[in-house]
Amino acid sequence: MAQSTETTDWVSRFADEVIEESERRAPGKPVVVASGLSPSGPIHLGNLREVMTPHLVADEIRRRGHEVRHLISWDDYDRYRKVPNGVPGTDASWAEHIGRPLTAVPAPQGSPYPNWAEHFKAAMVEALAEMGVEFDGISQTEQYTSGVYREQILHAMKHRGDIDAILDQYRTKKAPAKKQQSQKPLDEAELEAAEGSGAAAEDDGTGSAGYFPYKPYCGDCGKDLTTVTAYDDDTTELTYTCAECAFSETVRLSEFNRGKLVWKVDWPMRWAYEGVVFEPSGVDHSSPGSSFQVGGRIVGGIFGGKQPIGPMYAFVGISGMAKMSSSKGGVPTPGDALKIMEPQLLRWLYARRRPNQSFKIAFDQEIQRLYDEWDKLAGKVADGTALPGDVAAHARAVGTAAGELPRTPRPMAYRTLASVADITAGAEDQTLRILSELDPADPITSLDEVRPRLDRAEAWINTQVPADQRTVVRAEADTDLLKSLDDQGRASLRLLLDGLDTHWSLDGLTHLVYGVPKVQAGFPADAGPKELPAEIKVAQRTFFALLYHLLVGRDTGPRLPTLLLAVGQERVRKLLGE
């Protein structure tokens, strides 16, 4: 078992609080933390915080040797609210299922899964497994349709007047406008992510015949457009009518399993039923009258339970997701992120920020800088110079209480791997040749040494970098440009060409390309910045631009040492006019 990280980062502080609270509420019992996810469509990457916040806390509790359950409630018995845009294998005809439980809606065409909810759940389950997230999944369809919550439902119906009175205190308050932390308007996908689990707009059970916290799915059309018209507490006989198909029937709630408590009652019922001690929720739950706040009143007042410790977590944004690249309907999913980054990096993004801090997950060039930062941290952790909070975040990222996640044996810089993938377009023999030349003293001998990071960098280049930003090495030398060079230009190329043989490694070529303008200006090639005039920077930029033009026909490109290695010495000599 992994060691506890003896620090005071946010995860550790929540773990202290949760363990203490759990001991107070249920001495000697496993600690219970929870997340809720609605498989109403592709599960947005932004919703991963709903899982990662309790996961990290649960993992710390586990590292300390306590027994802990992380429940993920799949809200798959919620109504199908709308047909999400652009999901492959679906069309407008799915609209006929609106109002049915998500598990009663057919999966997109071609899916191996039995229904809509299972189809979208499966992608999330796969991503969570890759990230090392251990959880107990609970299908609300299974729970409700097998009568697990029978007692709680009958209890809620019996106390419907009390529930109505609690809800009424919030109904009279003017519903506050939905406020977001960011100033810019959110797009539809972001709004869906912010909305999170639980149908925010679902009605609370008020009908013309009075207040009932339970809603049956219709016995004929299967939809929830039903209204309870009568209920007898003694016999538990319930009568409802359906607005969709005019069906009506009387059932006995003591043996009826095709319906559910309304969301604002369902959530606190489950807190009490499962004994949840920690369950965070999105910022949209922080307003008075939100389901988290109202749930706090209902769980104590009706179900005799307690509200979990529930931090509000801030929005997680996405930067630069290429519009067309998402696998499912333009919504970035955790699976999409894991195609371009290793699970360690994604875990680190969540571990290093407190839940109330918002951050962005980079699909654009920023991912290269993020990886540089991550590698630098790993170096500091290895040599013992990292700060305690950073060490903790690193430890939470690279593994769990169950052990380390599989890692890339030789974590070469992501930006280098991306450049090589860019230039070679994935040709394996060429990739191996280039990568083995990066460090001739200790060459890699198999691409497996740099996997899976290489695969992620390749996927990033192929799915996120637009065609006009890709690097295309010139097929023939640019003779016009070569002929137009002055003496200075020609001499700089000569110096470079003469040094290629002896400098053919990543470090060597770095030294060489920066050194050429220094030597031309009469300084030693290894002169430091303090010994050099400011003009040398201008000369270096001019020289680099010339090399980019001769090699790839543009002003910029991948870092020159990487580019030179990737192009190969023979071809470099040809393109530089030798």
Window of 129-137, 221-229, 303-311, 507-515 that interacts with Zn ion by CB under 5 A: 221-229
In angstroms, how far is CA 428 from the centroid of its own chain? 30
Stretch that binds Zn ion, among 147-155, 210-218, 281-289, 538-546 (CB under 5 A): 210-218
Smaller CB separation from Zn ion, 200 or 245:
245
| Contact residue for Zn ion among 113, 211, 247, 523 (CB under 5 A) | 247
Question: Looking at beta carbons only, is 216 or 275 nearer to Zn ion?
Answer: 216
Q: Whole-number minimum distance, CB 244 to Zn ion, in Å?
A: 4
Q: Angle, to 10 degrees, between the axis of helix 388-398 and the axis of helix 10-25?
A: 70
243 binds Zn ion (CB under 5 A): no
In the complex, minimum distance from the CB of residue 80 to Zn ion, in angstroms, rounded to a whole number: 14
Which residue lies nearer to Zn ion by CB, 248 or 358? 248
Residues forming beta bridges with residue 240, ordered by sequence position: 228, 249
Query: Does 218 engage in binding with Zn ion (CB under 5 A)?
Result: yes
What is the CB neighbour count within 10 angstroms for residue 4? 17
Work out how close the CB of 223 gets to Zn ion at its nearest, in angstroms, rounded to a whole number.
5
Taking the complex as a whole, the smallest distance from the CB of residue 92 to Zn ion amounts, in Å, to 21
What CA–CA distance (Å, rounded) separates 420 from 434?
8
Cβ proximity to Zn ion: between 244 and 364 the closer is: 244
245 counts as binding Zn ion under rule CB under 5 A:
yes
Q: Which is nearer to Zn ion, 257 or 287 (CB)?
A: 257
Considering the complex, state which of residue 105 and residue 512 has its C-beta at the smaller distance from Zn ion: 105
Report how far apart, in Å, the C-alpha atoms of 338 and of each of 127, 223, 345 are: 7, 36, 9
Instruction: Give the integer Cα–Cα distance in Å for 328 and 361.
Output: 18
Rounded least distance, CB 240 to Zn ion, Å: 9
Q: Are 220 and 247 in contact (CB under 8 A)?
A: yes
Residue 230 CB, shortest distance to Zn ion, in Å, is: 17
Range in contact with Zn ion (rule: CB under 5 A) among 129-137, 239-247, 431-439, 538-546: 239-247
Decide if residue 241 touches Zn ion (CB under 5 A): no
In the shown chain, the binding pattern of residues 117 to 156 toward Zn ion, with x for contact by CB under 5 A and - for none, equals: ----------------------------------------
* 3 state DSSP class of 434: helix
Smallest gap from Cβ 79 to Zn ion, in A, equals 13
Burial 116-134 (b: 16+ CB within 10 A, else e): bbbbbbebbbebbebbbbb
- The CB density around residue 242, as the number of other CB atoms within 10 Å, is 22
Q: Which is nearer to Zn ion, 220 or 366 (CB)?
A: 220
Give helix then strand counts, H and E, for the chain. Answer: 22, 16
User: For every residue of 171-192, which 3-state class applies, written as one string?
Assistant: HCCCCCCCCCCCCCCCCHHHHH
Q: How far is the CB of 143 from Zn ion (least distance, A)?
A: 23
> Which residue in the block uniquely carries the two structure tokens 């015949």?
209
- Pairing state between β 359-362 and 316-319: parallel
The least CB distance from residue 348 to Zn ion, in Å, is 49
Q: Which of helix, strand or coil describes residue 151?
A: helix
Q: Is 98 in the site for Zn ion (CB under 5 A)?
A: no
Cα distances (angstroms) measured from residue 257 to each of 43, 118, 140:
27, 20, 12
User: Rounded to whole angstroms, what are the CA distances from 78 to 139, 140, 164, 192?
Assistant: 11, 8, 21, 15
Q: Among residues 220, 372, 498, 535, which is the contact residue for Zn ion, using CB under 5 A?
A: 220
Query: Should residue 221 be labelled a site residue for Zn ion when binding is judged by CB under 5 A?
Result: yes
Give whichever of 128 and 221 is closer to Zn ion, judged by the CB atom.
221
What's the rounded Cα separation, in Å, for the pair 8 and 527? 44
- Min. distance of Cβ 218 from Zn ion in angstroms? 3
Q: Which of 242, 378, 393, 457 binds Zn ion (CB under 5 A)?
A: 242
Pick the binder of Zn ion from 244, 249, 390, 439 (CB under 5 A).
244
Query: Cβ of residue 219: shortest distance to Zn ion, in angstroms?
Result: 7
Q: For residues 414 and 375, give the distance between their C-alpha atoms in angstroms, rounded to a whole number.
A: 9
Q: Which of 88, 134, 86 has its CA nearest to residue 111?
A: 88
Residue 163 makes CB contacts below 8 A (sequence gap 6+) with: 156, 205, 211, 213, 265, 298, 302
User: Which range in 11-19, 187-195, 214-222, 420-428 contacts Zn ion by CB under 5 A?
Assistant: 214-222
The pair of three-digit structure tokens given for residue 211, joined into one six-digit string:
């207040």
Give contact residues for Zn ion (rule: CB under 5 A): 218, 220-221, 242, 244-245, 247
